[in-house]
Every structure is written in structure tokens, then in C-alpha cells.
Amino acid sequence: MNRRSFILLFVLIFTLSACGAQPQQVAVEAPAPAQPSGSVLFQDDFAQPTTGWDRLLVTEGVMDYYSGGYRMLVNSLQTNFWATPRRNFSDVRIEVDTGKMAGPDENRIGLVCRLTGKDYYFFIFSSDGFYGMGLFKDGQAVLLGQSEMQYSENINKGVAINHLRADCTGNTLTFFINGFQVAQAQDATLTSGDVGVLAGTFNEVGTDVLFDNFVVLQP
């Protein structure tokens, strides 16, 4: 698959229960009431493996707490893993520190917001310096505000740490990488839902990513 053209034929690996590898049905809370701007709505440094994120070990990969962070290892082609803390928000500012530990630089690493069922907004970058922002809905994904993934010098490439920020405020979606705004678009499809992290592969398996210092703020 040509990442730049990015027709986004995502193969979504749904959240699975660790014991039986069957789709896990979870209750989602009602949207949190509005708080003053800058208020912390949720945060997790993954220091304790008891905060509700998925713990998964299957042939396709791993999602689990690891070394004081949260690890995603994707061992299947053209595949995304995503994980959430099972919350429900409308307007949010999400931030996380993330780094590639191993695997190809042509990968997908990022954040999701307003995840409801199988639908969500995504904010992703690759370890070779490209980024994209878009909507996954009804099994199809489309970039918003761009026709293909774009290159940015603000992305730390290879085995490196990047700080991501995704703002989902009203109909406006904004993506920041290492403090620099890289993308913004308008979309009214999704209004509330869960938040989380995402990692995936293109034409090579082995994307191995660690997330830390996940925080959700009132924008």
C-alpha cells in the first residue's frame, strides 16, 4: 500500500478479551459534564496495570502495560490496534508521549477521540515523518483536510519520542506534534465518545510502540 495516497484500507482489530480472544462488550459512561478550561478529565501514567486498558496477547500482537508505559506491538499487515480507558467525552484535548521501540519506520502511531462502537476520529503520524488526521466510520477511513499523508520536519523520526496533542472541540479537529500545529479540519459526524491510543502497520509487521503520560483536558 502506498502510504502517501493513503486510501486507508484499515483492517481494524477490535478490542478482544485477554482470556478468550472474543469481542469484548463494555459499558460506556454518559458524557462527562463540562469543566473549566484546562481541567484534567482523565489521566494515566500507566504505572499501575489496573486502570482499565486492554491487556491482550494474540498472534496478531500485544496490547499491555509495559515498563511504566502502555505497549502496542502489531504483528499483522495493514492492521490497526486501538485501546481506550472506557470513558465518554464530547469536547476534549488529549495529549500523550509516545515512542517507537522497534519495527519499521513506516507505521501508524496516534490518538483517537469520540470513539463510539467502531467509529472514531484518528490523529496519526509515522516514524518516517508523515502525519494524517481523519475519520473512520462504517468500516471506511478518510483523511480530513488533506488528500494524503503529509511530511513534517517537526516529527522526531526513528526510535524517538514524540509528544502528540489532539483537540476535538465542537466541529473542529486540530492535531499538534511536538507543540506544532500540523493539521486542522471541520467535521460534524461524531459528537462524543471514548478516547485512546492507536498503533498500526502498512506493508511490514512489527510496529512496537510505547505510550506514556496520557491526559485528557477540558479544552
pLDDT tens sequence across 116-135:
999 999 999 999 999 999 99
pLDDT of 38: 86
CB 128 within 8 A of CB 105: yes
Which amino acid is residue 74, in one-letter code?
V
CB 72 within 8 A of CB 83: yes
pLDDT of 80: 93
Indicate whether 192 belongs to any domain: yes
Indicate whether 1 belongs to any domain: no
- Please identify which residue in the block is written with the cell numbers 484535548: 93
CB 105 within 8 A of CB 99: no
Where in the sequence is the domain holding 140, given as residue range(s)? 11-17+39-217
Indicate whether 142 belongs to any domain: yes
Indicate whether 57 belongs to any domain: yes
Indicate whether 207 belongs to any domain: yes
pLDDT tens sequence across 134-166:
999 999 999 999 999 999 999 999 999 999 999
pLDDT tens sequence across 13-54:
443 333 333 333 344 556 656 678 889 999 999 999 999 999
Q: Is 132 left (phi over 0), alpha (psi -120 to 50) or beta?
A: beta
Mean of per-residue pLDDT scores for the chain: 88
Indicate whether 127 belongs to any domain: yes
Q: What CATH number does residue 112 fall under?
A: 2.60.120.560
pLDDT of 3: 53
Which residues are within 8 A (CB) of 111 and not within 5 positions of it... i.e. 6 or more apart?
94, 96, 122, 123, 124, 164, 166, 195, 196, 197, 198
Indicate whether 33 belongs to any domain: no
pLDDT tens sequence across 85-95:
999 999 999 99
State how far the Cα of 183 lies from the Cα of 143, in Å rounded to an integer.
11
Structural domains of the chain, count: 1
pLDDT tens sequence across 52-61:
999 999 999 9
- pTM for the complete prediction? 0.86
pLDDT tens sequence across 191-207:
999 999 999 999 999 99
State how far the Cα of 88 lies from the Cα of 41, in Å rounded to an integer.
10
- Please identify which residue in the block is written with the cell numbers 510496529: 207
Indicate whether 5 belongs to any domain: no
